[in-house]
Structures are given as C-alpha cells and as structure tokens.
Structure 1
Amino acid sequence: MKTIVIWGAGGGLGAAMVEYFYKKDFTVIAIVRNPAKNPRLLELGIHTIVCDATDQEQVQRSVDAIPINAWVLSTMGSFRSDVPVDYIGHRHLIDALENNNINRFLLITSLGCGDSWKYLPERARTVFGFAVREKSLAESWLQSSGLDFTILRPGGLQDGPVTGKGSLSQYTETHGLIHRSEVARLAHQLLDDKDSIGNIYQCVDPSLSV
C-alpha cells in the first residue's frame, strides 16, 4: 500500500487531498499545525503529525517520522497570516526532504505564480499578490533542489465532487475554476507519472463557469 504525506491537511485543499487519497486506499499521513481544524482526521483514523512549518526543527522532526519511499504533497498556504508559511515553510520542508533522501514531491501553488504572474489580473494581484509572490519563491527554491518534483498551479478553488474533466496545461495563459477534489485527482495522476518530474502544470476545469 502506497503512503502519501499531505502537508497542510487541516482544511481547504489539503482536507480534500486527505479525503481523496483515503478513498483510494493510500496510507495517509497528515501534517497539520492545528488538527482541530479538520475533525475528519480523527474520524478517519488518519495518522497525524502536528507541525508548525515555520519552525525548521519541527519540520525536520516531522520528516524524520515519514517513510523514505513516501510520496509527499504540500498544499500549505497562509493567506494574510502574520507569519506566512508559503515560502519559509516550503524551504524548510524541501531542505528536510533532501536531508532524508525522500525524493518524490508535488508542490501545489496557484495560477499567477512564477512565469504566470503576467497573466494574473490586477485585482487578483492586489488581493492575493503577496501570497502568490511567496509561493513563487517556494517554486524557485524547489526548482533548484535535487528532488523529483512536480509543481501544480490550480485555478480558483471550489468545493465539489471529482468531475474527471479537469485539464492540465503548460506554458499558456490559463484562467478558470476547479473543484478541490478534482485537483486531488490530477495530483494523483502527476505523482504517478515519471514524465511529470521537473515540470510545472496549470489546471482548471473547463466545465465550470466563472
């Protein structure tokens, strides 16, 4: 049975990842700052590790506790947080994974990161720009690492079921919405595809109207 470690499993996209991979019979390890934010972790009996990813020692201890052959996935984010985790948390995590020779890592950021910044509308830059820039720094740190990484940038996130209609794209202007559970399906697809290593993808669901 494959093990997947989900950082940022306390809510939102991370919680959707937990539900998806649990239903796919993965052994799920959830990494959260506050487990109380996601009661489903206890209900499902998910092995949970409490970690403040802005603390480097906590991150290293958490990575020490996960299997070397696990897939690792991160949805960590901290929109308007006093201490953003988007960059520094991922920097600590990437460094710890390298230290422990845990290689397969999928980082989920957002449309507008990196070279897609130029396509981010001005209003979105005003509201989300700081977080997007922090995530872009995390992408850059990851790209200069030795990990077998893939980066996924989803569009606007909504609750809803897996549709099977989410689409992946590269190197093109992309806008749209996607269900969190559909992002989880695409994340599974990418983690299982060796050709995705070293690549950056965007994803939206064309069947959803903006």
Structure 2
Amino acid sequence: MSQMVVFGASGRTGRHVCELAAGAGWTVTAAVRRLEGAAPAPDHAARLAADVLDPASVGAVLAAAKPDVVISAIGGGDIRVDDEGVRNIADACVVAGVRRVIVVTSLGCGASRTYASERLLAAIGEVLAAKTRAETHLTALPLEWTVVRPGGLIDGEPNGAGALFEDDRVHGRITCRDLAALLVALARDDDAIGMVLSAVDEASLSGPNDPVRYRVRGEAA
C-alpha cells in the first residue's frame, strides 16, 4: 500500500501525520477544509479541499486520490464534525471501495467513559458523546477500521514514549506528534484491524497496575 489520505491535515495532529507518512514512503493527500491559509503540505504531499460535513466533497477527494488508507484526525470547533464528519468519511470510504480506515476519537468515548473523570465529562461530555456516535457508526460498516482514543493532547516536543493499549482504563497525555507516529505505524499493521486502542504517553500513564499494551507490528517488546 502506498496512497494515503489524511482528513484534518491542517490540524494539530493531522499535519504531523502528513509529514511522518510522507517520510515513511507514503504518497500523501492532505485533505483540508480550505486551501487558502492551510499549512503547507510536506514534500511530495498534495492538498485537496474537503468539507467533511459535505459528503460529496469527501467523496470527490477519495475519487481523486484513490487511497489505500484513510486517516481521520478531524475534530474541534463544530461538534458536528466529531459526529457527522467522521460518519461522512466512513460512508464515503464504503462507496469508494477504500477498506482501511483509522479514526482518532478520544479517551472518554464508548466503554472508556466509565473510567473518565467527572471533570472531563463536565467539560467535554457532549463532544465525547458525538465522537461515540461516530465510533458506533464506523464500527458497524464493512471496513477494516481501527479506532484510536488518545488521552489529553499536548503540543511540544515528542519524546517517543507514545504507546497503545487494549485497555479502556488507562489515563494520561500524549503529544500530537507522538500520536501521529502511532497512527502512521498502524497504517501498515493489519493486526490492528477491528480494534479500539487507547493512546497515552507511557511517562504520564495512570490507571490500572496491569494495563494491556498493544504493540504495533514490528515494535520491539
């Protein structure tokens, strides 16, 4: 596989996904809401305009790029993006025949809501509910999906300690770039198909004493 489309490519995580994927040999199409004012695409990456709230716009990007893998790093601002936007991307992938889809949501979605703090739920409970609806829609479709739920996203220098867990109980933070590195690695990991994974920096990890670690294919034990 070599063709990748990144939705949310001008965002905090998406721009790092584009850069790291291009560096890893992918031909990247950066899907951004507006071409004007968007961050420059990395070397060898194209940019296409896509409003994720417009299914036709999303479908046009997939038809043009013909990706092997789609990564959705959309979110923030309009709560409809967290729900309808992800659903539109997933539906368009089905129509276009794109099988592999990786979607970023958040800790506090789905079953992990049980372990979320009251403070988090009070602050972004509606956002988490919207992302959960999107997850439910995605996982019911005939796609080779992976859902990644990061902890608190922070900007700044990565430390390479980002890790994935098959565990709803974990808490912590992760830099946007470290999260992006995990997403790019998952794009070539078929073992992660059909999995919901938590993403946290191991240095900030809290929760259970026995978290279930997921190792991306090829990662050293």
TM-score (norm 2): 0.86
Aligned counterpart in structure 2 of residue 74 of structure 1, from 67, 72, 75:
72
Tell me the residue number matched to 1:31.
31
Report the Cα offset of residue 115 of structure 1: 0.7
CA contact (8 A) 1:15 1:38 kept: no
Kept after mapping to 2: 8 A contact 1:162/1:182: yes
| Stretches of structure 2 lacking an aligned partner (at least 5 in a row) | 207-221
Deviations 1:46-84 (CA, angstroms, capped at 9, x unpaired): 31110111112212222211215x2110011133x2x62
Residue 95 in structure 1 maps to residue 91 in structure 2: yes
Q: Distance in 2 between matches of 1:4 and 1:112?
A: 28
1:168-207 matches, cutoff 5 A: 168-207=164-203
- The structure 1 residue matched to 2:143, chosen from 147, 163, 184, is 147
Partner of 1:18: 18
Q: Distance in 2 between the 1:126 and 1:195 partners?
A: 35
> Of the candidates 129, 134, 140, which is equivalent to residue 133 of structure 1?
129
Tell me, yes or no, if the aligned pair for 1:78 and 1:84 is still in contact at 8 Å: no
Q: CA deviation at 1:36?
A: 3.8
For the aligned residue pairs, the C-alpha RMSD in angstroms reads 2.0
- Structure 1 CA distance for aligned equivalents of residues 104 and 111 of structure 2: 15
Alignment partners' CA distance in 2, 1:40 and 1:113: 32
Which amino acid is 2:169 matched to? E
> What is the alpha-carbon distance in structure 2 between the residues aligned to residue 109 and residue 9 of structure 1?
15
- Write the distance in 2 (CA, Å) between the matches of 1:132 and 1:145: 20
Residue 47 of structure 1 aligns with an amino acid whose one-letter code is: A
Greater displacement, 192-201 / 160-169? 160-169
Question: Is the partner of 2:103 in helix, strand or coil?
Answer: strand
Structure 1 segments of 4+ aligned residues over 4 angstroms from their partners: none
Q: Secondary structure at the match of 1:123?
A: helix
One-letter code aligned to 1:188: V
> Which secondary structure state, in structure 1, belongs to the residue aligned with residue 180 of structure 2?
helix
Alignment partner, residue 2 of structure 1 = 2
AA aligned opposite 2:23 = K
Q: Is the 8 A contact 2:94 2:143 kept in 1?
A: yes
Which runs of 5 or more structure 1 residues have no equivalent in the other structure?
none
Contact residue 146 and residue 195 of structure 2 kept, 8 A: yes
Aligned 8 A contact 1:18 1:28 in 2: yes
% same residue: 32
Aligned residues of 1:160 and 1:179 also touching (Cα < 8 A): yes
TM-superposition CA deviations, 1:75-102 (whole Å, max 9, x none): 11133x2x62111111111111111111
- In the alignment, which residue of structure 2 is the partner of 1:124? 120
